[in-house]
Structure 1
Amino acid sequence: MEKVILVNEHDEELGEMEKIEAHEKALLHRAISVFIFNQKGEMLLQQRALKKYHSGGLWTNACCSHPRPGEDVAAAATRRLKEELGFETAIQKQFTFTYKSPFENGLTEHEFDHVFIGTYDGAIHPNADEVKDFCYKSMHDIAFNLNNQSNKYTSWFKIAFPRIMEWWKVQPLN
């Protein structure tokens, strides 16, 4: 049984709960999101596996998940990147944000999300239980697609992307 860390709006731990129960009750819990770029400045996107408990088939950032009770957010981000996409790379925490997003299946993501960014140009070995497909896309292509086909992207990606775009604009690769 997978558990999440319940937190308040300041990311202070309140306890832990089974993951699905926390999503059924829409309780705020700690999460991680990893954004990966290649040396061309393109972002790695993954299409979530169709059998995911929500947002199956939607496109999103490299990986998203929850730290385990007692696990550091950076360690969780590194672990999930390896578990979902089969590689490791240096990542750095950039910012946090909180969001609440209900889904048609009755579950709600209510997360205090820690966002990490890294670069990677090597081989990708996706876990088929997590990832249906993946690709690198330019930031401009992603922005265009979000404006014209936003229903193909996860709710949290749409919230985080503008902040990632601001970060990306000041990077030396651009």
Structure 2
Amino acid sequence: MEEEKVILVNEADEPIGLMPKMEAHEKALLHRAFSVFVMNDKGETMLQQRAKDKYHSPLLWTNTCCSHQRDGESNIEAGKRRLMEEMGFQTELKELFSFVYKAPFDNGLTEHEFDHVMMGSYNDSPNINPEEVADWKWMRPSDIKKDIAVQPEQYTAWFKIIFERFYDHLMKNPQTK
């Protein structure tokens, strides 16, 4: 099976080529990505715990799902596809904001991503894919913020970066909760 390719982009999110995912992470090259946050009617955010066999950040808590867009795929299409692949459900998504971040890992890989952050609403339990997800839970954003401060080692590097921006967005735009 051919390795999945990521879309290399410049600082304006303009595509400049395709590259195998692992190579892009080894070379720390900027590429397009997305992060999905799903919230319920109680204002809680669905978190996932990454599967123990993931090649980086196993068993750490992170946002509902995240991944990389495929060539020709819109941000929303990619978010919906990955939400189904990882969490086993579909919901409407809306893009909130995007930004660039860089997060190196202990294993020599680096996430250097132009990240499109999306949000959706869902009130049921997911049907998690055990190859991708070990566990899941609902948490209030304020409790996530407090927990990251107390035990940051329990969360993925990118989630700590993205969550700060997501939390600020929720505080400035309470209608999106």
* Ranges of 4+ aligned residues in structure 1 off by more than 6 Å: none
What pairs with 1:54-69 in structure 2 (closer than 5 Å)?
Answer: 54-69=56-71
2:141 aligned residue (139, 142, 145): 139
Match of residue 76, structure 1, among 72, 75, 78:
78
Q: 1:159: Cα distance to partner?
A: 1.1
Residues of 2 paired with 1:123 and 1:152: CA distance?
22
Task: Supply the RMSD in Å over aligned alpha carbons.
Answer: 1.3
Question: How much does 1:173 deviate?
Answer: 8.2
Partner of residue 118 from structure 2, selected from 104, 116, 119: 116
Q: Give the letter aligned to residue 97 of structure 2.
A: F
**SS of equivalent residue, structure 2 residue 174:** coil
Structure 2 counterpart of 1:158: 160
What is the rounded CA distance, in whole Å, between the counterparts of 1:123 and 1:61 in structure 2?
15
Cα drift, residue 167 of structure 1:
2.7
How do 1:9-48 residues align onto structure 2 when only pairs under 5 Å count? 9-48=11-50
User: Which deviates more, 13-22 or 48-57?
Assistant: 48-57
Secondary structure at the counterpart of residue 30 of structure 1: strand
Q: Distance in 2 between matches of 1:112 and 1:94?
A: 14
Give the letter aligned to residue 92 of structure 1: K
One-letter amino acid matched to 1:113: D
Match of 2:89 in 1: 87
Count of residues in Structure 1 that have an aligned counterpart in Structure 2: 174
For residue 171 of structure 1, the aligned residue among 151, 169, 174 is 174
Instruction: Give the TM-score taking structure 2 as reference length.
Output: 0.94
8 A Cα contact 1:46 1:135, kept in partner: yes
Superposition deviation, residue 89 in structure 1: 0.6
Change (3 A) 1:13 1:155: same
Determine if contact 1:41/1:173 at 8 Å carries over to the other structure.
Answer: no
Amino acid at match of 1:118: G
What percentage of aligned pairs have identical amino acids? 54
1:64-95 per-position Cα deviation (integer Å, ceiling 9, x unaligned): 00011111111000100011000001110000
Q: Tell me, which stretches of 5 or more residues in structure 2 are unaligned?
A: none
Equivalent residues of 1:39, 1:173 under 8 A apart: no
1:56 Cα deviation (Å)?
A: 1.1
- Listed as ranges, the gaps of 5+ residues in structure 1 are none
Change (3 A) 1:72 1:173: closer
Give secondary structure in 2 for the equivalent of 1:93. Answer: strand
Q: 1:35-88 CA distances to partner (integer Å, 9 max, x unpaired)?
A: 011100011000011111111111000000001111111100010001100000
Are the structure 2 counterparts of residues 102 and 157 from structure 1 closer, same or farther at C-alpha, using a change threshold of 3 Å? same
